[in-house]
């Protein structure tokens, strides 16, 4: 029973990490579209978008971990 709980906790952690990585996929998909906006003309815009997306991803991941710990779903 303990092994099953550990597997469920690990799966929850992997699902959360996959969600955060999917956010990067959405951003890359937007930058791969064939339309033009003013953001594409700025040389440093992509770096800023990656930094902001990374910071948001880390924040979302930490928020999920806090929520799981708060609800006692994961003993981190």
Task: State the average pLDDT over residues 1-9.
Answer: 89
> Which of 73, 71, 66 has its CA nearest to residue 5?
73
DSSP per-residue string spanning 4-66: HHHHHHHHHHHHHHHHHHHHHHHHHHHHTSS---GGGG-TTHHHHHHHHHHHHHHHHHHHHHH
- Total structural domains within the chain: 1
Instruction: Please write the tens of the pLDDT for every residue from 13-48.
Output: 999 999 999 998 998 888 888 888 888 888 898 889
Which domain covers residue 20, as residue numbers?
12-70
Cβ 34 vs Cβ 12: under 8 Å: no
Domain membership flag for residue 56: yes
Residue with tokens 């952690």: 13
> What is the structure's pLDDT at 39?
81
Domain membership flag for residue 52: yes
Domain membership flag for residue 6: no
> What is the structure's pLDDT at 55?
96
């Amino acid at each position: 029973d303990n092994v099953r709980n550990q597997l469920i906790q690990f799966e929850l952690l992997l699902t959360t990490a996959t969600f955060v990585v999917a956010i990067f996929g959405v951003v890359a998909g937007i930058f791969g579209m064939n339309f033009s906006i003013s953001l594409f003309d700025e040389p440093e815009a992509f770096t800023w978008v990656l930094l902001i997306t990374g910071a948001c991803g880390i924040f979302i991941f930490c928020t999920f971990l806090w929520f799981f710990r708060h609800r006692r779903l994961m003993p981190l």
